[in-house]
Structure 1
């Protein structure tokens, strides 16, 4: 049986009646990496990790929201410090690229928050899960290099050729979503990026188009992604399954 791991999912954002099906509804899904959005999300994901053996938590603060206040951020960081043994990574953290396309919010405060998370990842030797695309990715690379971070996972990455080369040179990982089926930009990224530094994800419950239109985002969509990766890389699908599984278990110490 071809086992899969969803390397990035927001399980706490699903309707409660769908959660059991998402976690246990397909026997090919071997593990899920659940990233957090804020403190309440961290607490919920901690509970999920205690309830579901295959669910692994990452704790962080998603950047695509109003900048968290100093007091709230201190409360979040204090909670993570106490609870860090219950997480396998820092995440999801990064910079608010999409929010800044809508309103010209200053980025400096977000960079400061991100640097705190990167410092903690370095201190605890934890992987870090990053929301960093297009023009924001080089800024994040600067911080990762400053702290000599080795285990960085750029989820649903998008960027120019220069930044792609930089990620490859630094041995950073990326993860591919089901939009690989219909997005030329992601297909080209897969063509360029070493499969040894690649994972697969859903970013669920984020909805997808094409053959997934109108369907609840489920980790089993990853099978379609893997078959597309195999086609682009011109490799046997069984080898791609094996490599992606190995990459994810090794990166996250599963």
Structure 2
């Protein structure tokens, strides 16, 4: 059946926290995906409990793809908890689409400049090793100066498939990501944030995905709305406008990017 956006205008939300929505919100999103022109959702995990819930969702719905990881903007895992998460990933590695969301605690360190980054780096390197072992992409929370630090680790382990979600950074880091063949994903704030619009202008379309990071709320034209994967259609329209490309070409390229990167 053709969706309301036409078969040539299908997309994949490359980064969403589906488990963080209420059950009724999850049901609403999943019931509207086909008509909204959303082929799949890549739902990333916050911790072990989140990974278990995302695994359950992926087993119940073929178009839900689960990634397992530990979001860095929280208290660091102790050795026992980290081993429990690693064991879960090892046990379910064939059911995960990627390692993620993982990275470094940028916002926590802004609030607490004395927070040590070392234990987070140690944990991140373990996730990078897992991604390499199971030949899976890695989904990264690494912005501004942290992105360069993460690049060092990725290069150390010769990681090719890295996805920097909702990336923000300087020109030197942007050029480094592009050189390494890493992907970024663009959120709906591209409609109203000049920094994100500038990033879209700089970054190659061939290394670009789209995401919502839902249920994170947006402002601008999305003020007061539940974050829904259908918002990424408006992101595509804005990307096409910024890059002065035909909108159909942008749809096609970003869908191909996502499928090839995540081997969907």
For residues 226 and 73 of structure 2, the distance between their equivalents in structure 1, rounded to whole angstroms, comes to 22
Q: Could you tell me which of 52, 55, 60 is aligned with 2:64?
A: 55
1:250 aligns with 2:264: no
RMSD: 0.6
Q: Deviations over 1:72-103 (max 9, x none)?
A: 11111111111111101000000000111011
For residues 157 and 62 of structure 2, the distance between their equivalents in structure 1, rounded to whole angstroms, comes to 32
Gaps of at least 5 residues in structure 1 are none
1:140 aligns with 2:150: yes
Shift of 1:50: 0.6
Partner of 1:21: 28
For residues 9 and 24 of structure 1, the distance between their equivalents in structure 2, rounded to whole angstroms, comes to 16
Shift of 1:23: 2.1
Secondary structure of 2:92's partner?
Answer: helix
Secondary structure of 1:88's partner?
Answer: strand
1:108 aligns with 2:115: no
For residues 251 and 30 of structure 1, the distance between their equivalents in structure 2, rounded to whole angstroms, comes to 15
For residues 40 and 182 of structure 1, the distance between their equivalents in structure 2, rounded to whole angstroms, comes to 34
Partner of 2:50: 41
For residues 83 and 53 of structure 1, the distance between their equivalents in structure 2, rounded to whole angstroms, comes to 16
Partner of 1:179: 189
For residues 134 and 110 of structure 1, the distance between their equivalents in structure 2, rounded to whole angstroms, comes to 16
Shift of 1:123: 1.1
- Consecutive aligned runs of 4 or more in structure 1 exceeding 2 Å deviation: none
Number of aligned residue pairs: give it: 254
For residues 95 and 243 of structure 1, the distance between their equivalents in structure 2, rounded to whole angstroms, comes to 30
The alignment's TM-score, normalised by the length of structure 2, stands at 0.95
1:66 aligns with 2:75: yes
1:10 aligns with 2:17: yes
